[in-house]
Amino acid sequence: MKSLAVRLGLLLLIVAFGLGQFGGCSCIPSCTPIPKVVLIDDAHQNENNFDGYSFEAFYGKLKTTLQDMGYTVNKASTAGFSPSISVYGIVILPAPFDAYTSSETQAMVDFVRAGGKLIILGEYGSYGASANANLNAISTALGAGITFNNNTVYDDTNNYNNISYWPLITSFVSHPTTNGLSTLAYIAGCSLTVQSPGTPIAYASGSAYTRANLLRDPGGNGAGIGMKSQDTKDRVTNIIVAGVAQIGSGKVIAIGDVNIFGNDAYNHQTDFIDLYNNKKFLQNIVNW
């Protein structure tokens, strides 16, 4: 009986050791860590250069926030667009108006499945239709279940700076990316459609609605082109503005606003990343 107990004990030790070897990296000193390097795409006519903004003018605060968190930040325009888990831990795609090639798409799929984090940022309505289509192609290739809709989210009641298409977001799903959030400023963004394996994490308020196009208001605060004053309000309940998905060993975070972590590109005095909990949202995403 004693020898049987000894043999069982040895068997349990072997199983435990095996689980430690193959169950993950947390207890394996030799496991290769995820690089603390971020690649921000600015090589596919992304929003920051599509309208002629310099990278620093559009995303200078995003870059310094990531650096303050201990990350090295590379731009695709100088480092090349080659997502790889051996080099990068995070890749950010801000509203790409040029499509990704099949090889670039496959590289992103491989990157995420191997444990990388992909942050994809969409744009509003008619202006961002091609950028959203390019992001949707990446989401489809990943099987993330997240779609950027070609509309603009409005809220006449809850908004920043009395601009209805800069709605305030106060409804969050419990998730590591939303810990401690109370309010986000959403700067002219679209809604998302999210289905499994994706999960919604943030919603517009009950007074929000969408339009197919962004309207220019009487004060000239519109940031878009090709406005249509005849667009009708599309009252939709539970308007999703952010979602996440876990693909393989990696993670995808989708937000319908390219400006949410950006500088104040439109001369409204306060950098958008510094509004409400926008910066904390970024930090939560990075730490997830």
Q: Would you tell me how many other CB atoms lie within 10 Å of the CB of residue 258?
A: 30
Measured CA distances, 279 to 26, 48, 127, 272, 274 (Å): 28, 18, 25, 9, 6
Tokens of 204: 């517009």
The domain limits of the chain are: 32-215+228-287
Residues β-bridged to residue 159: 167
Using an 8 Å Cβ cutoff, are 120 and 139 in contact? yes
pLDDT of residue 194: 98
Structural contact between residues 138 and 111, judged by C-beta atoms closer than 8 angstroms: no
pLDDT at 21: 36
Q: Which residues of the chain have pLDDT under 70?
A: 1-32, 48, 50-51, 214-232, 234-236
Closest to 228 (Cα-Cα) out of 218, 241, 214: 214
Question: In this structure, what token pair is assigned to residue 88?
Answer: 């990068």
What per-residue string of b and e applies to 7-24 under the rule 16 or more CB within 10 Å gives b? eeeeeeeeeeeeeeeeee
Nearest in space to 251 (alpha carbons), one of 142, 135, 149: 142
Q: Express each pLDDT in 47-64 by its tens digit.
A: 867 567 889 999 999 999
**Would you state the pLDDT for residue 182?**
98
- CATH tag, 32-215+228-287: 3.40.50.880
What pLDDT is recorded for position 6?
A: 42
- At residue 120, the 3 state secondary structure works out as strand
Give the whole-angstrom CA distance, residue 117 versus residue 48: 21
Count CB neighbours of 91 within 10 A.
28
Q: Do the Cβ atoms of 64 and 44 come closer than 8 Å?
A: no
The pLDDT value recorded for residue 228 is 43
pLDDT, position 76 = 97
Kind plus residue range of the DSSP H or E element containing 253: strand 250-255
